[in-house]
């Protein structure tokens, strides 16, 4: 990945939490704006059989009349599958820091350019919220988790899919990226949600997870 090689930190160790300064926010936005042209690594579509998609669909269940938020939605590939499967949903909306990524998000999906650490959205506005491989870029992780839970209704469901900190160093990463330990993110989400669990997942349901990807599931 061009953009990854350019900004690879090279240390192989997660950096201590950086503050999301306006300068860092600008660099992250510009990096993903540039990556939006890279359809190979940032595709518009996703195979709905991939377990990451299936897990979200199964955990959320029937979305008729429900409002769903995809945080760090990129080109909206997950949201597109949810909208196709649940045409009676009330709203499926994506937030992303990159307007170039959001340019690929089309109706019936709604798009909102913002950082997930400061959502311009009302409290308890959504029945379901999810973030796939985006929290790892949020820098101020506590703030991002607080925000995703703030916009979730009491009783609403949350899914976070990200990479396991125990595998840090196996992929090139930009200097702001962070991966998570299972218990660490469970603890953070538990500040805002009644129930939290986590599980290892792989791309395909019948393939044993290799430990790289984790899913955290919570109910507020
Ligand atoms: C690896 S991509 C994943 C995109 C999408 N979730 C998917 O799985 O196809 C990470 C996305 O997070 C977005 N992102 C990074 N930092 C963000 C932030 N602070 N707030 C909102 N979106 C952010 C990027 O612009 C990018 O589209």
pLDDT, tens digit (0-9, with 9 covering 90-100), for 37-79: 999 999 999 999 999 999 999 999 999 999 999 999 999 999 9
- Mean pLDDT for the stretch of residues 24-28: 97
pTM for this entry? 0.93
Sequence-distant (6+) residues with CB within 8 A of 50 are 203, 204
Structural domain range at position 56: 2-11+18-219
CATH classification at residue 153: 3.40.50.150
CA angle 183, 135, 192 (to 5 degrees): 55
Burial (CB < 10 A; 0-12, 13-18, 19+), residue 65, is exposed
Domain count, the chain: 1
* Atom of ligand 1 at shortest range from CA of 95: 21
* Atom of ligand 1 at shortest range from CA of 32: 25
Please tell me the distance from the alpha carbon of residue 95 to that of residue 113, in angstroms, as a whole number: 6
Please tell me the distance from the alpha carbon of residue 70 to that of residue 159, in angstroms, as a whole number: 10
Of all protein residues, the one whose alpha carbon is nearest to atom 18 of ligand 1 is 115
C-beta of 82 in contact with ligand 1 (< 6 A): no
């Amino acid at each position: 990945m061009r953009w990854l090689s350019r900004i690879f930190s090279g240390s192989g160790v997660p950096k201590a939490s950086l503050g999301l300064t306006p300068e860092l926010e600008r660099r992250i936005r510009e990096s993903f704006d540039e990556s939006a042209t890279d359809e190979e690594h940032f595709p518009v579509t996703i195979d709905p059989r991939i377990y990451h998609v299936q897990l979200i669909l199964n955990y959320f269940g029937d979305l008729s009349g429900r409002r769903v938020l995809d945080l760090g939605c990129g080109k909206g590939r997950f949201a597109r599958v949810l909208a196709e499967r649940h045409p009676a949903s009330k709203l499926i909306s994506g937030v992303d820091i990159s307007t170039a990524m959001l340019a690929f998000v089309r109706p019936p999906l709604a798009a909102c350019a913002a950082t997930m650490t400061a959502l311009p959205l009302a409290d308890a506005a959504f029945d379901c919220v999810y973030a796939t491989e985006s929290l790892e870029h949020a820098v101020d992780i506590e703030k991002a988790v607080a925000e995703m839970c703030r916009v979730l209704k009491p009783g609403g469901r949350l899914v976070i899919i990200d990479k396991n900190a125990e595998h840090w160093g196996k992929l090139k990463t930009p200097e702001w990226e962070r991966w998570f330990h299972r218990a660490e993110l469970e603890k953070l989400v538990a500040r805002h949600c009644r129930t939290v669990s986590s599980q290892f997942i792989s791309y395909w349901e019948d393939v044993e997870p290799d430990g790289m990807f984790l899913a955290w599931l919570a109910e507020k």
